[in-house]
Amino acid sequence: MPRNNLYLVGFMGTGKTTIGRELAKVMGRKFLDTDQVLEKRFGKSVNQIFADEGEKVFRDAERALALELAETENKVVGTGGGTIMDPISLEAFQKSGLLLRLYTRETNLINRLKRTSKRPLLKGETPEEVEEKIKQLLAEREQVYGKINLRLETTDLTPLIAARKVHDFLRSRPELFTEPLEDRVELK
């Protein structure tokens, strides 16, 4: 199986879906968003899946989807913020493609996420509690996110500019789809 999928990973609100759509267009690939696929399969929103079924059911379905996607080729995949916290999902993605971590400055991220009710792990919290929860989740997830060597800060980028930066870089380094990236690379 070729190792040619591109997996966009990182915290919620960093642009994985919006940038992923643009990147897929630029690369001439199909885009899939794992949360949207799961919403379609369950017939309800991620918030509703969490509320009705619980986080464990969602995470189990997310893992099954990750294993399924690892068997595909030539995709740009926007993952849920917690997807790669599961070691089995992370390994499946690493074996079948390249992972790109998207991130944004913490203050910008907090401001973005305070304005939405679409994030089940932040649901029903006051703005202060949301901020504290974001900081807590970021700290917990950094252990895994920090291991992703290919990175792009999305704070001041439009989705199209971010997509072009990634595309141009990958065109200059096609070997990244066949060999693991050993050193950290920050896309500029």
Domain of 111: which CATH number? 3.40.50.300
What is the predicted pLDDT for the residue at 148? 96
Q: What range does the domain containing 56 cover?
A: 5-186
Residue 26 half-sphere exposure toward CB, CA atoms < 13 A: 20
Name the stretches of the chain with pLDDT < 50.
none
Provide the whole-model pTM.
0.92
pLDDT score recorded for residue 38: 98
Q: How many domains does the chain have?
A: 1
